[in-house]
Amino acid sequence: MSAPGSAPSRTRQLVATADHDALRAAVGDLLSDHVPWASVLARIETEDPYDTELWVRLGRDLEVTGLLIPTDFGGVGGDARDLGVVCEQLGAFVAPVPFLGSSVLATAALVAVGTEPHAAELLRRLAGGEVVAALALPAGALPGGVLSTSVQSVSGELTGTVRPVIDLSAADVVLVLAWDEGEPALFAIQPDAAGVDITPITPLDLTRPLACLQLTATPGQLVVRGPAALAAAATALGTGAAMLAAEQVGIAQWSLDTTVAYLEQRQQFGRPIGSFQALKHRMSEVWRRVGLARAAALAAADALAVESDADEIAAVIAVAASYCSETAVFAAEEMIQMHGGIGMTWEHPAHLYLARAKADELILGAPDQHRSRLAALINLPAT
C-alpha cells in the first residue's frame, strides 16, 4: 500500500507544524461560522442531510476537498498529515459533508492509479470541485483484509450489490470494484445510469448517510484492471482508516472540552462540580486517552505521508484505528454521563457525537478486527 498524494516527503513529523495550525484554524473558523450544532441537528431531521453549501465552501474557499490530489491534476498536492488536520476538525463539528467518501476513499483510490487516463480525468474533476465521488466498498471493509465483491462485469456492464456504502447518496460518480473476466477491475459509473438503484439505509449516525447500491447491467467505464485495481482499493481503505482515526480524535477532543466547560459551570453544594475529586479523576482519564489517541492518529498519517514500509504503515494504522475508535466512544459516553439529565436530551448536541463515535467504531473495521490484524503483522501469537 502506497501513500496517496504528491511526491512524498521523507521527513518525519509527529507534531503539528505552523502550517497545520493555520489549516486547523482556517477549517475550524469556517465550520464554527457555518455549522453550529443546532443547524446540524435541524438538518438531520430533513430529507437532505448533506450541507451542500458547506461542501462548496470547503472546496472553493479552502481547497481542502482536493487536498490529496497532486498538483499535476489541479489539486493541492498535500499529504495524509494535512488531510488528518481537516478530518479532525470535521469530526469536532460532526460536519454533514461527504468528505470521507469523496475526498478520502474515492480520491485515494484514484490517486493510486493516477497514471490511468480515466483516473486522471476524474481527479481533475474532483480537484475542481465539479463532482463528488464515492467508493462502492462495504462500509465495514477492513484494511488489509481480503477484498471481495459480488459485482460482475460482462462486456463492461456491471451487475451486483454493494452495501452499505459511505456517502453514496451524495455522489456524482461511483467507483465500483468488480470481477471482469476473472480479473479484478475498477469501474466508474454514473448514479443516474440505466440499471442503478440506490436505496438509503437508516444509519446510526444521521450526519453520515449510508446506502445500498444495486446494479443490473449498468454501463461502466473501466478505470484500471488487474492487481492495480485491488491495490487501489486497499490504499483507499488504509487511508480511510487513518483519516477516520483523526476524525475520532476530533470527536473525543470536543467531548472533553465541552464536558470540562460544563463541570466548571454547573454547581452543587455551592461549588462547581468539577472540583469534586471523583469527577476530576474521570476527566483526567479522558484527557489521557485523548492525548494518546492524537499521538496514534498523527503517527498513522505520518506513516502514510512518508511512504514507509507497507507492513509498518499497516501496523501503525491498526493501532490508531483501534485506539482512536474506543477513545472517541469513551469520551462521548463520559460527556453524556457527566452532563446528567441534559446530556440525554435531543436538544443537547451530546447524542450527535456519541452516534458519530459509535458509527465510526463500526466502519472500516471494528477495534477488535484491527487488533487481530496488528497481532498478525507483528507475529503476536493468538491466545
**Residue 283 pLDDT greater than 90, yes or no:** yes
What is the Cα–Cα distance from 69 to 123, expressed in whole angstroms? 7
Helix, strand or coil, per DSSP, at residue 194: coil
For residues 380 and 162, give the distance between their C-alpha atoms in angstroms, rounded to a whole number: 33
CA atoms within 13 A on the CB side of 186: 32
224 SS3 class: strand
- Mean pLDDT over 281-298 rounds to 96
59 three-state secondary structure? helix
- The mean per-residue pLDDT over the stretch 281-302 comes to 96
Would you say the C-alpha torsion 105, 111, 112, 115 has a positive or negative sign?
positive
337 CB-near residues (< 8 Å, 6+ apart): 343
Instruction: Decide: 213 and 165 in contact? Cβ < 8 Å.
Output: yes
- Band of pLDDT at residue 121, cut at 50, 70 and 90: very high
Q: What is the C-alpha to C-alpha distance for residues 112 and 99, in angstroms, rounded to an integer?
A: 18
- Between CA 71 and CA 38 the distance in angstroms is 37
Is 106 strand, coil or helix?
Answer: helix
**What are the tens digits of pLDDT across the range 266-281?**
877 878 777 688 888 9
Place of cell 494535512: 82
The domains of the chain, with CATH numbers, are 18-132 (1.10.540.10), 152-227 (2.40.110.10), 229-377 (1.20.140.10)
Strand pairing category for 221-225 and 267-268: unpaired
State the Cα–Cα distance between residues 191 and 106, nearest whole angstrom. Answer: 15
How much of the chain, in percent, has pLDDT values that exceed 70? Answer: 95
For residue 139, the one-letter residue type is A
For 209-237, the pLDDT digits (tens) are: 999 999 999 999 999 999 999 999 999 99
The grid cell for 292 is: 494518546
**Residue 72 CB contacts under 8 Å (≥ 6 apart), including other chains:** 6, 114
The yes-or-no verdict on residue 10 having pLDDT over 70 is no
Share of the chain above pLDDT 90, in %: 78
Handedness of CA 282, 284, 288, 293 (dihedral sign): positive
Question: Mean of the per-residue pLDDT values for the chain?
Answer: 92
The answer to whether the predicted template modeling score (pTM) of the entire model surpasses 0.75 is yes
Residues 283-291 have a mean pLDDT of 96
Query: CA angle 312-313-316, nearest 5°?
Result: 85
Strand, coil or helix: what is 164? Answer: strand
Q: Is the pLDDT of residue 260 over 50?
A: yes
Give pLDDT tens digits for 179-210. Answer: 998 899 999 999 999 999 999 999 999 999 99
